[in-house]
Structure formats: C-alpha cells, structure tokens
Amino acid sequence: MKKMSMFCVFALLIFLPGVFTAVNAQTPVKEGFWRGVLYNRDGSEVPFNFEVTPDRVVLINGEERLPASRITRRQDSLIIAFDQFDNELALVLNSPEKATGLLRRQDELVTPTDTKGLPISVDRTGLPIKVTLEYGVHHRFQETGVAPVATIAGKWDVTFYTEDGREIKSVGIFSQEGSKVTGTFLKVTGDTRFLEGSLQGNSLQLSSFIGTGPNLITATVKDADNFNGYTSAPSGKFRFTAVRNEKAALPDAYTITHLKNGNRTFDLSLPDVDGKKISLKDRRFSGKPVIITITGTWCPNCMDEVAFLAPWYQENKHRGVEVLSVYYERKDDPAYFKKVLSRVKEQYNIGYPQLVGGLADKQLVAASLPSLDKFTAFPTTIFINKKGEVAKIHTGYNGPATGEYYQAFIREFNQEVNELLQEKGQ
C-alpha cells in the first residue's frame, strides 16, 4: 500500500453507523465530545470542540453547530471534509480516543512534513497546519479555577494594528457567564463569527474553527474598561487594543464603496460555470430590481450571506426581484470553479445564477468590475433598481454571530428591496 507521509497506517478507514472503524485493526472512533488543537506556525495553539454522532461530525463554536460536509476514506487516512471551503481534516487514528493529521486543501493528496509533523510549505493563507484530536475533553482552554478580574460583557472600541502600520477599527461585542466568554469582532469587511473561550484571572482566551483558517484571541484584561492582546491565524498575528464603549459603532456599510464619478449604471456580462454568458441586459433582469453579490466560497462572511440570501430568494423571487452572484476563487481554473460553485449551490439550494469572476484578488476584482471606484471587501452587495441604476452598495457582511447587527441588516435589506420594488421602471 502506498505511503502518504505522516498519514500511513495499517488499515483503510470506513464510516459505519454509530462508529468510525478501521477495517483491519478495528480501531473505533468514539461517539461523543472531542477537543482538537490546531497549531499555527507562530507557535500558537488554537483549540476547538466538536461532537461525533452516529451520522456526522459537528463543529461547536458558541451557539453555532456546523456539520462537516462528509466523512470519507482515502487510502490510509480518515478525511473529514468541509466542502464549502474546499478544505479537509486528513487524519490518522492513533487510538480510539486520539488522532493526528493536517488541516489542508482538498486537492493536496500528499503534504510533505518535517520531523515534527509540520508542513514543509504553506500557501498564502497559512495552510496546511497540524492538528491533534482527543476524545472526552470538554473544555476549550485549560481551566485554572481563577476567578475573572472583571466582566467584559458589552461593546468595545477595538483597534487592530497591521504589520505595515495601518490601524483597523473594529467593534467588539461580548457576553460573559462566570468565566465563560462568547462574542465576536465586527469590522467594515465583516465579523470574526462565533468566538468562544474564557476569562480566567486577567487572561482572556477565545477561539473559533469552522473548517477554514482557525482564529485565536489572547488578551490581558487590565480592568472592566480596558484589555489588549493579539489575534492569531495561519496567515499572521496582529496586535489590538480595546476600550469599553457601549456606543461603539462602525462606519455606515453603505458609504464605503461607490461607483466611479459620472457612473449611474453597473455593467456586468460574465460566464457561468458552463460557459454561458449572463448579462444584466438579459430579458430575465429587464425592469426588475437586481441584487448582485461579489463573493467567494473560501470566505466565511460570504457563506453567511449565502445562508441568508439563498432562502430569501426562494421566498421572494415571485415578487419580481432577481439575484446574481459573482465568484472570485483561489484558482482561476474552469474545473475548479465548477467544483466549488456546484458544491455551494447544492449545500445552500441556490436558485439564482452563479457567475465566474476570476481570482480572489482585490485588485483583479476592481479591474474586472471597472464601474467601481475601488473594491474593499468580500462580500460586497450591489442593489440595482428597475431602471438599471445602482441604488446602494453594501460593503462587507455581519452575520448571525453579531446578534442585533445581523437583525438590523436583515431589516435594512428588506426595506431597500421593498423600496426598489415600489419604484417605477423605465
């Protein structure tokens, strides 16, 4: 049997009802609660929790329960796939209660590793990275028993500092029960989704993992009004400071992205995965409001938007409103586009056209959509009126983890569509 670097074991793995089993060694994977640790290359360890049930693996982050797409066998490895991000956990069972492996791209069938099991080379997002899993461990971060120095529940003005000296303004929103903390950071580009962890003494630790790049927050809480620390991901580490402010707010998401001077219309003519050109001038869109999303399957905030927009369209298309999504992906390859767009279409039951934009590079996006003055964030959502004119452009997306902000977006979205439907056409 061909070796697969660190994944070589003595039996093929299959998934059976109620248990994962190694065919020859009969090594079961227990149902129940597991703890995993992902190892960033800066040395930081990102813990996460998941549950194995009779028919699936479910990631746990705060209130969110996110099932893996599928569990399959590949030579000697157990593969837990996250199709919406084209990633997978490629694992070897060391025992019924422990496993080791990598979080990697699905097309990386073999990943060279060093003597410590770390990938020899990584892509621009920092993948692949090493992972270990252990059964029956319920905590996320190691519990010390030290009482929190303060409560951080509420809203915070947060500033992230990049390596090139830029300051990125953010809003932190947190809940706290005893030492347990949940929350998220809102930025103009979107939120960091569901973070979960603890505040023990003055040490704040939060993490999240949804099948793509893991996120780790480590901070020191000075008092009830100040804390500072670092956010670590496979792609890098950034410092931040936080000051309590119950009126903390971001710039209006409708004021960030604009058309170039003099433009009122937004021209669009791109192929779908079958090569069929679709244009805003097509009869399907004539005289109707159209919502255009600039998106990518690799983008967690984009997938939050799809989870809202796909069912919304099914419920509202009879009213005479249309939707288009333009995808920018990690590879500008027709076969790759067809694979990832077909998967997300099936997962979210997307009923509107999915168009091929190109590579997920902000400069390339701006070049391919010359009507925009700039491109800031995935996703960006463009509202077109019945006359074919741009009514509004919304930058970024704050999803379910943001609570009241998410509910406010839904209200604003529906209000804008209602107004566009009430307007007279050409």
- Position 76 scores a pLDDT of 65
- Position 11 scores a pLDDT of 30
- Position 108 scores a pLDDT of 77
The alpha carbon of residue 353 and the mean position of all alpha carbons in its chain are separated, in whole angstroms, by: 22
Q: Going by C-beta distance under 8 Å and a sequence separation of 6 or more, which residues neighbour residue 359?
A: 328, 329, 330, 331, 332
Q: Report the pLDDT averaged over residues 17-37.
A: 63
In the predicted model, is pLDDT for residue 94 greater than 90? Answer: no
Q: Going by C-beta distance under 8 Å and a sequence separation of 6 or more, which residues neighbour residue 329?
A: 296, 297, 298, 336, 337, 340, 359, 360
Confidence of residue 5 (pLDDT cuts 50, 70, 90): very low
Segment holding 188, helix H or strand E = none
Confidence of residue 75 (pLDDT cuts 50, 70, 90): low
Q: Fill in the DSSP letter of residue 178.
A: T
Residues 244 and 155: beta-carbon distance below 8 Å: yes
Percent of the chain with pLDDT over 90: 75
Residue 246 one-letter amino acid: E
Helix (H, G, I), strand (E, B) or coil at 246: coil
- Position 232 scores a pLDDT of 93
- List Cα–Cα distances, 106 to 50, 87, 109, 314, 347, in angstroms: 20, 5, 7, 31, 17
- Position 114 scores a pLDDT of 78
Q: What is the pLDDT of residues 188-207, one digit of tens each?
A: 999 999 999 999 999 999 99
Which value, to the nearest 10 degrees, does the dihedral of the CA atoms of residues 308, 310, 316, 318 take?
180
- Position 10 scores a pLDDT of 29
Segment holding 163, helix H or strand E = none
In the predicted model, is pLDDT for residue 413 greater than 80? Answer: yes
Domains identified in the chain and CATH numbers: 5-135 (2.40.128), 154-244 (2.40.128.120), 269-422 (3.40.30.10)
- Position 112 scores a pLDDT of 79
Q: Report the pLDDT averaged over residues 31-43.
A: 93
Confidence of residue 2 (pLDDT cuts 50, 70, 90): very low
Pairing state of beta strands 277-279 and 290-295?
unpaired
Q: Report the pLDDT averaged over residues 359-366.
A: 92
First to last CA, the chain: 67
- Position 28 scores a pLDDT of 64
Confidence of residue 27 (pLDDT cuts 50, 70, 90): low
Confidence of residue 41 (pLDDT cuts 50, 70, 90): confident
- Position 82 scores a pLDDT of 95
- Position 15 scores a pLDDT of 33
- List Cα–Cα distances, 290 to 188, 346, 382, in angstroms: 23, 22, 8
Pairing state of beta strands 129-135 and 32-39?
antiparallel
- Position 267 scores a pLDDT of 85
Residue 350 one-letter amino acid: I
Q: Report the pLDDT averaged over residues 5-31.
A: 42
Rounded CA separation 408/153 (Å)? 20
Q: Report the pLDDT averaged over residues 208-226.
A: 96
Rounded to 5°, the CA angle 349-72-62 comes to 60
- Position 6 scores a pLDDT of 34
In the predicted model, is pLDDT for residue 25 greater than 60? Answer: no
Rounded CA separation 291/160 (Å)? 32
Q: What is the pLDDT of residues 227-276, one digit of tens each?
A: 999 999 887 889 999 999 999 999 999 999 999 987 888 889 999 999 99
Rounded CA separation 399/101 (Å)? 30
Helix (H, G, I), strand (E, B) or coil at 135: strand
Segment holding 388, helix H or strand E = none
Q: What is the pLDDT of residues 106-151, one digit of tens each?
A: 977 777 777 777 787 777 778 899 999 999 999 999 999 999 999 9
Q: Going by C-beta distance under 8 Å and a sequence separation of 6 or more, which residues neighbour residue 22?
A: 9, 10, 11, 12, 13, 28, 93
The token duo for 335 is 């076969």
User: Rounded mean pLDDT of the chain?
Assistant: 89
In the predicted model, is pLDDT for residue 20 greater than 50? Answer: no
The alpha carbon of residue 390 and the mean position of all alpha carbons in its chain are separated, in whole angstroms, by: 28
Which value, to the nearest 10 degrees, does the dihedral of the CA atoms of residues 280, 282, 285, 290 take?
-20
Rounded CA separation 301/405 (Å)? 14
Global pTM reads 0.88
